[in-house]
Amino acid sequence: MSAKHSSLIEIETPVLRPGSDGQTLFWMQEHAFCVHLNLRGDSSSSVFSEAVGAVTGTAPPEHPNTCVSSEHCRLAWLGPDEWLLIGVHEDFGPAPLEERLAPLHHALTALSGGQTILRVGGENWRNVLASACPFDLHPRVFGEGACAQTVIAYTNVLLMPVEDPDRGEALDIVVRRSFADHLARWLMDAAAEDGFEFLSPVGSP
């Protein structure tokens, strides 16, 4: 097994850059090398939902722009027949699900190399994102269990509110690998006024 490299290879971490008044109101941490699987199938088929449920521990969410979590993975709604599965552990692989879904018309596609998660938080995270994200991030309309596909700084992203075990309220930004560097640089720039900290990535190569 050779070394893996994160998509933020050109951005040095950790870096702490307090804002004009010495404050640090934004943090970002990449969760690299997670297992990302794109799933397409017919959720109106009970066989499909049961197969997904049996392997992931939860049926795929049918309500638009919602996500669910189990002990194995998170499942985010992307479209009426499309979901993103993000494994909680490294060993969450496609094989068991592929086996259960084999008789059905479906597509289970590995995207682990193609996207990464930038987790952001801090007192000012909503304002930092609002510099370039037209989506309403207010907790009243975008809270736990929601997900949204939108853009930040002209980059397609999937957003999922999360509770970071160490740092509290946070947001996971799922972004394509090729755009991750651009997005991180934009966030760094947008967060500069009120200070930011970029932590070392989570996820072992």
Partner 1 sequence: MTSARRLQSGGLVDRSRRIRFKFNGRDYFGHPGDTLASALLAQGVRLFGRSFKYHRRRGVVGAGAEEPNALVQVGEGAYSTPNLKATQVELYDGLTARTVNGWPSLAFDIGAINNRLSRLLPAGFYYKTFMWPKSAWMRYEHHIRHAAGLGRTPSLPDPDQYDKRHAHCDVLVVGAGPTGLIAALGAARSGARVMMVDEQSQLGGSLLSAPAVIGGQAGLDWAGEVEAELRALPEVTILSRSTVTGYYDHNFLSVNERRTDHLGPAQSDTPGSRERLWRIRAKQVVLATGAIERPLVFDGNDTPGVMLASAVSTYIHRYAVAPGRSGVVFTNNDSGYQAAIDMSNAGMEVRAVVDVRMTAGADVAKTVADMGIPVYLGYVVPSVQSGLQGLKRIEMAKLSADGRAILSHKGLVDCQVLAVSGGWSPVVHLHSQSGGRPCYRESQACFVPGTSVQDERSAGACAGSFSLAACLQEGADAGVSAAAQSGWPGGYVDIPVAVERDEAPLQPLWEVPAGALAGDRVKKFLDFQNDTTASDIRLAAREGYRSIEHVKRYTALGFGTDQGKLGNINGLAILAETLGKSPGEVGTTTFRPNYTPVTFGTVAGRALGEQLFDPVRKTAIHAWHVRRGAMFENVGQWKRPWFYPREGEEMHAAVNRECLATRSSVGVLDASTLGKIDIRGPDASRFLNLLYTNNWDNLQPGRCRYGFMLGEDGMVMDDGVTTCIASDHYLMTTTTGGAAAVMSWMERWLQTEWPELKVYLTSVTDHWSVMSVAGPNARAVIKTAGCDRNLDAEAFPFMSMQSGEVAGIPARISRISFSGESAFEISVDANQGLALWEAIMTAGRDYDITPYGTEAMHVLRAEKGYVIVGQDTDGSVTPVDLGMDWIVSKKKDFIGKRSLSRSDTDRPNRKQLVGLKTQDPSRVLPEGAQLVNTPQAERPVPMVGHVSSSYYSAHLGHSIALALVKGGLSRMGGTIYAHLMDGSVVPATICSPIFFDPENERTKS
Q: Is 16 in the site for partner 1 (CB under 8 A)?
A: no
Angle in degrees, CA 85, 203, 17, rounded to 5: 115
Alpha-carbon distance of 33 to 205, in angstroms, equals 7
Quick check: 123 binds partner 1 (CB under 8 A)? Answer: no
- Our CA angle for 37, 43, 45, nearest 5°, is 125
81 binds partner 1 (CB under 8 A): yes
- Is the CB of 168 or the CB of 205 nearer to partner 1? 205
Is 103 a binder of partner 1 (CB under 8 A)?
no
Query: What is the per-residue DSSP string for 52-95?
Result: HHHHHSSPPP-STTBEEE-SSEEEEEEETTEEEEEESSTT--SH
The correct pick among 65, 96, 145, 185 for binding partner 1 (CB under 8 A) is 185
The SS3 call for residue 46 is helix
Interacting residues with partner 1 between 125 and 164 (CB under 8 A) = 127, 130-136, 138, 140-141, 153-155
Question: Which range, of 68-76, 86-94, 111-119, 164-172, touches partner 1 by CB under 8 A?
Answer: 111-119
DSSP 145: T
Q: How many residues of this chain interact with partner 1, rule: CB under 8 A? A: 55
Q: Does 12 bind partner 1 (CB under 8 A)?
A: no
Does 107 bind partner 1 (CB under 8 A)? Our answer is: yes
- Residue 65's contacts (CB-CB under 8 Å, 6 or more residues apart) are 77, 146, 147, 148, 149
Q: Which of 27, 48, 179, 198 binds partner 1 (CB under 8 A)?
A: 179
Q: Count Cβ atoms below 10 Å from residue 103 Cβ, excluding itself.
A: 9
Question: What residues line the site for partner 1 (CB under 8 A)?
Answer: 1-7, 9-10, 19-20, 32-33, 38, 40-41, 81, 105-107, 109-115, 127, 130-136, 138, 140-141, 153-155, 176-179, 181-183, 185-186, 189-190, 192-193, 205
